[in-house]
Structures are given as structure tokens and as C-alpha cells.
Amino acid sequence: MSKTVTITGAAGQIGYQLAFRIASGQLLGANEKINLNLLEITPALDALKGVAMELEDCAFETVSNIHISDDPNKAFKNTDYGFLVGAKPRGPGMERSDLLQENAKIFSAQGKAINETSSRDIKVLVVGNPANTNALIAMSNAPDIDKSAFTAMMRLDHNRALAQLASKLDCHSSELSNMTIWGNHSTTQYPDVNNLKLLGESISSRLDQTWIKDDFIPRVQNRGAEIIKARGLSSAASAASAAIDHMRDWVLGTKVDDWASMAIPSDGSYGITEGIIYSFPVICQNGTYSIVQNLEIDPFSKECMQITEKELLDEKTAIEHLL
Ligand code: NAD
Ligand code: LMR
């Protein structure tokens, strides 16, 4: 039976990459047929029509149906995999708290639509910023769906970290494993190399700690802004690629002897407050994820993990009335 994939903000930058890559089979493989539901706001429906026409023109073997809509209740009907990309960008003079409030409305409406209409086994990936808190809002508005269904994207940060490390170590990023991003998809995130392996061998003691603290960590934390400065637009193709990596690993499993970074509802592991959507190292198997336990946390890491936790708690306080 075909799986239903919903993409919100499908006429936007990321949506334009994501829809075609998913439709071509890069999420579930060449043998899985999908129904593609694309959601946009009403003023973007013409542009979305154009996207749907192009998708048709690709004649992808893996696509059964394409539906476009500006109604979340239609777009999330029977959804198995939801990519929540559409969000309001930060406008001139807008504070982060204003952005939180504006996007909170979008994600509470979409959470309600998911609750009413989606598959009970839906997997949700929130990409639209502030992604972790938007995921919290969607989750809180979908009380009939298991909380573990709601995740936010840290995979772009994880992949960015691997790319920086591969360049420094003069190896290929695929030879590195056990990278972790903790916390929020923001500049407070903590890219943690303490468990990093190169070709299965621990390498963290060989890393130059001055480079890690003064170059690597701030570079990964600020890579989004670096891309915006270079392109004049925020990352799009790399974000779509990371979104596929996140969902594919969740559905099909993480690589053997490796893990992924996913922002998920905290269960209190590593002392992180329950009830926020925080990035942990996770292993995915049989369509579920579990937090990698018992990693050693040194005092520097602990402090970094608490800084990003505090930011998420502050974001939660700012939108508490919508939960
Ligand atoms: P974009 O502005 O090009 O596209 C966003 C689209 O969402 C627009 O077409 C807009 O019409 C649509 N939209 C707005 N409100 C909507 C709603 N209520 N329902 C459906 N669609 C709606 O932006 P983009 O570059 O595609 O980025 C999308 C989001 O992803 C932004 O919030 C961006 O900050 C975020 N982002 C997150 C990460 C991450 O790693 N988590 C990385 C890159 C970008
Ligand atoms: C990114 O990490 O590239 C984005 O989240 C940046 C942004 O603010 O859209």
C-alpha cells in the first residue's frame, strides 16, 4: 500500500528540493509507492500548482498521487510521514519572541489537524524554525498521537559537524561516526566530539581541543548564518538532504555501530528536563528511536548541555499558553 507523505511549505525553498527528492524514491527506496500531499498558505497556491505540475512532468515511478491544498485537515489526512517545513520567516524588526508567537499559531493548527486526520503511527519531522519549540507545540496539540512521533531536525547540524571534522582530519565524512549534537537547533546547540570515531576507532583524544572549542564548535553553531551571508538566503538543499537523512534513518534504521542526532521529547535522560524537544544521540531500529545511554559527560559538556537546555526552557515559557 502507498505511504502518504505530507510536506508543508512545499512551494518554498526547502520544499522545492524535498518534494522532488522524496518523489524520486530517496526517502523510502525505489520499490515504495507514495502519495504526496503538499500544503501551502492560500497566496502560494499558484506557485504550489506549478510545483505539482513539475512533479507530474517527472513521471516518477514511485509516485501514486499528488494532492495540493491550503487546508491542513486535507493535507494531513492519513499522513504516515509529515515534514513540517512551512513557517513564517523572521521579518525586519521582529524579535525571536515575536517569531515564536507567529509560528506557534501555525504549529498548533497543524498539530490539531494531525490529531484529527493523520495515521495514528505518523512520524513528524519539524524543520521550520524555531524547530524544537514548534515541534513541542505541534505535539501538545495532538494529544491522541504518541508524543514520540514528534521530532525536530538536528541532522543538518550533525552533517555540518561531520563535514568540518572530515576536512580537518583529511578523511571522508562517511569514515566518521558517533558524532552528537545536543540541545536546540540554534547557536546554543552543543556539537560534542567526545565519542567521535574514525573508521571505528576512537579519535577524540587526538583532536586539537583549542581548535574544537575556538573554531569547530562556533563554526557549526553559526553555520546557518554563514550560509545566509553567502547566499542571501537560508540553507535549502542541505536542509532538504538532512530532512531525508533524519526520516530515512528513523524509518529504516541508523547505520550499524553509529547513531544520529535527533531532537525528541526529553525523557529526563542525562538530566535534561522532561517536556522539551531536545537533541540526543539516538539509535533507530524497527521504526523507533532510543536514546544512547551511559555516555560519559565531562564538566565542559555538562555546562554546554545546560546552556542549550535553558534556552529551550525559556522558549517553552514564552509559548506556554499555547500548550
Ligand atoms: P521559504 O520562505 O522559502 O519557504 C517557506 C514556505 O512555507 C513558504 O512558501 C510559505 O508560503 C510557506 N508557509 C508559511 N506558512 C505556512 C503555513 N501555515 N502552512 C503551510 N505553508 C506555510 O523558507 P525555507 O527556506 O524553505 O525554510 C523553511 C523553514 O525551515 C524556515 O523556518 C527556516 O528557518 C527553516 N530551516 C530549518 C533548518 C533546520 O535545520 N531545522 C534548516 C534550514 C531552514
Ligand atoms: C540553518 O541552520 O541553516 C537555518 O536554521 C538558518 C535559518 O535561520 O533559517
What is the DSSP annotation of 257-284? T--EEEEEE--SGGGPPTTSEEEEEEEE
Query: What's residue 91's pLDDT?
Result: 66
Instruction: Say if residue 106 is in the same domain as residue 190.
Output: no
Tell me the pLDDT band of 143, cut-offs 50, 70 and 90: very high
Whether 172 is catalytic is no
Instruction: Say if residue 130 is in the same domain as residue 167.
Output: no
Instruction: Say if residue 163 is in the same domain as residue 302.
Output: yes
Instruction: Say if residue 123 is in the same domain as residue 249.
Output: no
Residue 62 lies in a domain: yes
Query: What's residue 100's pLDDT?
Result: 87
Residue nearest to atom 2 of ligand 2 (CA): 224
Instruction: Say if residue 23 is in the same domain as residue 147.
Output: yes
Instruction: Say if residue 261 is in the same domain as residue 137.
Output: no
Q: How many CB atoms lie within 10 A of CB 54?
A: 13
Check pLDDT > 80 for residue 96: no
State whether the beta carbon of 234 lies less than 6 angstroms from ligand 2.
yes
Tell me the pLDDT band of 98, cut-offs 50, 70 and 90: confident
d(CA 127, CA 200): 31
Instruction: Say if residue 171 is in the same domain as residue 138.
Output: no
d(CA 237, CA 18): 8
What lines the ligand 1 site, CB under 6 Å?
Answer: 8-9, 11-15, 39-41, 44, 85-89, 106, 127-129, 131, 153, 156, 185, 234-236, 239
What dihedral angle (degrees, nearest 10) is formed by the CA atoms of 113, 118, 121, 123? -60
Average pLDDT of the residues in 225-241: 93
Residue nearest to atom 9 of ligand 1 (CA): 12
Of the residues 152, 187, 208, which one is the last residue of a structural domain?
152
Instruction: Say if residue 269 is in the same domain as residue 162.
Output: yes
The packing angle between helices 299-318 and 131-140, to 10°, is 50
Q: Which residues pair with 279 in a beta bridge?
A: 183, 263
Is the separation of the CB atoms in 138 and 132 below 8 Å?
Answer: no
Nearest atom (ligand 2) to Cα of 129 = 5
Phi-psi region of 213 (alpha: psi -120 to 50; beta: other; left: phi over 0): alpha
d(CA 48, CA 39): 8
Q: Which domain holds residue 70?
A: 3-152
pLDDT, tens digit, for every residue of 308-323? 999 999 999 988 888 8
Average pLDDT of the residues in 22-43: 96
Ligand 2: distance of its center to the CA of 233 in Å? 9
Cα dihedral sign for 8, 10, 13, 14?
positive
Residue nearest to atom 4 of ligand 1 (CA): 12
Determine what percent of the chain is predicted with pLDDT higher than 70: 98
Long-range CB pairs of 162-168 (<8 Å, 24+ gap) are 164/216, 164/219, 164/220, 165/193, 165/196, 165/216, 168/211, 168/216
Q: Which of 172, 185, 246, 321 is catalytic?
A: 185
Question: Lowest mean pLDDT: which of 70-84, 161-175, 223-237?
Answer: 223-237
Chain mean pLDDT for the chain:
96
Average pLDDT of the residues in 109-134: 97
State whether the beta carbon of 235 lies less than 6 angstroms from ligand 2.
yes
State whether the beta carbon of 189 lies less than 6 angstroms from ligand 2.
no
Of the residues 103, 133, 152, which one is the last residue of a structural domain?
152
Of the residues 152, 171, 198, which one is the last residue of a structural domain?
152
Average pLDDT of the residues in 182-190: 96
